[in-house]
Structure 1
Amino acid sequence: MADVERTISLHAVAVQHIVLVASLGAGCWAVPRAYGITLVGSPTHVLLTIVPILSAVTLLTYSLGPMRDTTTWVATRLARGALGLVAGAVLFHVLAVLYGAPLIDKALNTHLWGWMVSCLAVAPSACVLGGDGDSWRRLYARASPSGFKEAALCIPAHGAVLGAWMGAWPIPLDWERPWQVWPITCTVGAVLGYIAALGVTHVVGWWMYTPKLKQKHL
């Protein structure tokens, strides 16, 4: 992976992650609340709010932020991030349908949900890794990051996907709650899984990689 060994500041990555969580908060809660809508009452409108905010923040922070690949132009990083975002949205849309999401009914919701999960799980790596197939396989087929930078890509992506999958569990239960519909629980699951994984990322970073980073400066 290009630039994988560059020493990056854990504090700088923490700031980047705070910005990403803030964008999720704005899209999921602050902006919809200003318009009097909620995810349960108007999932389409809330997802239409989340997707553009999260897409812009994700592409900009991973193309310009501390985890950027400094061996390429900004325009290149933005372009490959955008391509990865679109490809990931299509992939997650197809996977959702294969796992039981409505094919025709709520197709827009499915696409917007896929786009949101792609922002969390695919676009960051697309910006940073580009087309480095070996790194993609190592991070997502084997889950074997070689340093903090790779861990900060791998762990949140797995957290978002795992959270989305776990979010599907309540849908078929006979609780008859208004939120037990596609894609509300999977949206909440993806967001919570992603945020939890960000926390895990920094625990892992301080525990495993901070001593190594300090040693490099001795």
Structure 2
Amino acid sequence: MEGKGGEMSGRAKGRRRKITPLSKTFEERPQDQIHSQGEEDVDQFPFPFRFWILACVQLICGAAVYLGLWIVPYLMGGLSIIFQPVETLRICFVVAFPVILFSFSMLRLQPEICPVWWAAFRGFLSLPIGMIVASFIATIFGAPVSYESAVRTLHWGALVSTLTVVPVAAVAGGSWPMWHQLFAATKPNGPLELALCLPAHGAAIGSWVGAWPMPLDWERPWQEWPVCCTYGAVGGYLLTVFVSLGWNAVNLRQSSKGEEEKAK
């Protein structure tokens, strides 16, 4: 009986050893494994396709933002961010948010234990948090506080949250080391982290730069809140999308040369 009991306990321990690694969440992994996880997950595809998958996601998201801010509002009745900011921002959000959310959910970390719907759900949960934080920061830096301006601020905050917070939440979830690595330390490791870090910083810095013409007494319609900041956020986002694409393309070329030299 003791032999059977020992054998059964040994089997139970073996089962525990098999289950424990799979049951660990993303947040429980060591920091060095977290930083390399994004590149490992993209590595499930053949080497030449790693860059192209990420590039397609970035180009699709950039095209959705561009279409949502300029093309779709114009086709829906000649709307413009200058004269109809709330309606235009709403259309841009409706067009860009689902595209960005589900595109980056496909690049989620740990796909073996994190389904697409869960990555999309946590990205959706991050939207109101980022919107409130962006609106609060804009108010601190001088955004008007009237009711009409507050509505504009919230719409602008929703767009900024979509460009900055939602992709990271969909990919990384609630991992503090990953968020710290991208936003506090600003040290992206690998092509996926670069594709998350640069556009987010580009949108934030672009919003700040875009606010500079607002206090000037030119009395132009495009100086009204939040037109300049919207142009700055979208312009900074699109610019850094192409910068990250170029950077990853250069790294891809260097890696290809390195593999060719090793093969020789």
Answer yes or no: is the 8 Å Cα contact 2:58–2:195 preserved in 1: no
Change in CA separation of 1:216 and 1:77 when aligned onto 2, cut-off 3 Å? farther
Counterparts of 1:63-78 in structure 2, within 5 Å, are 63-64=105-106, 67-69=107-109, 70-71=111-112, 72-78=114-120
**Runs (5+) with no aligned partner, structure 2:** 1-33, 44-48
Higher helix share: 2
Question: 1:213 & 1:113 partners in 2: Cα distance?
Answer: 41
Higher mean alpha-carbon deviation, 25-34 vs 134-143, is at 25-34
Question: 2:198 & 2:246 partners in 1: Cα distance?
Answer: 11
2:185 pairs with 1:142: yes
Amino acid at match of 1:30: I
SS at match of 2:225: coil
SS at match of 2:222: coil
Counterparts of 1:23-172 in structure 2, within 5 Å, are 23-34=64-75, 35-64=77-106, 67-69=107-109, 70-71=111-112, 72-105=114-147, 106-172=149-215
Runs of 4+ in 1 over 6 A off after TM superposition: none
Question: 1:139 & 1:214 partners in 2: Cα distance?
Answer: 28
Amino acid at match of 2:79: I
The alignment yields a C-alpha RMSD, in angstroms, of 1.8
Question: 1:148 & 1:114 partners in 2: Cα distance?
Answer: 27
**Runs (5+) with no aligned partner, structure 1:** none
**CA offsets per residue over residues 78-117 of structure 1, 9 Å max, x none?**
1110111221111101111111111233111100100101
Answer yes or no: is the 8 Å Cα contact 1:147–1:209 preserved in 2: no
Amino acid at match of 1:74: V
Amino acid at match of 1:95: I
Question: 2:58 & 2:94 partners in 1: Cα distance?
Answer: 18
Question: 1:213 & 1:124 partners in 2: Cα distance?
Answer: 28
**How far has the Cα of 1:25 moved from its partner?**
2.2
Question: 1:74 & 1:107 partners in 2: Cα distance?
Answer: 34
Name which one, 1 or 2, has greater alpha-carbon Rg: 2
What is the aligned residue count?
216
Question: 1:83 & 1:31 partners in 2: Cα distance?
Answer: 26
Question: In the alignment, what sits opposite 1:16?
Answer: 57
Give the fraction of aligned pairs with identical amino acids, expressed as a percent: 36
TM (normalized to structure 2)? 0.77
Answer yes or no: is the 8 Å Cα contact 2:39–2:191 preserved in 1: no
Question: In the alignment, what sits opposite 1:4?
Answer: 38
**How far has the Cα of 1:68 moved from its partner?**
2.6
SS at match of 1:37: coil
Question: 2:120 & 2:129 partners in 1: Cα distance?
Answer: 14
**How far has the Cα of 1:124 moved from its partner?**
0.4
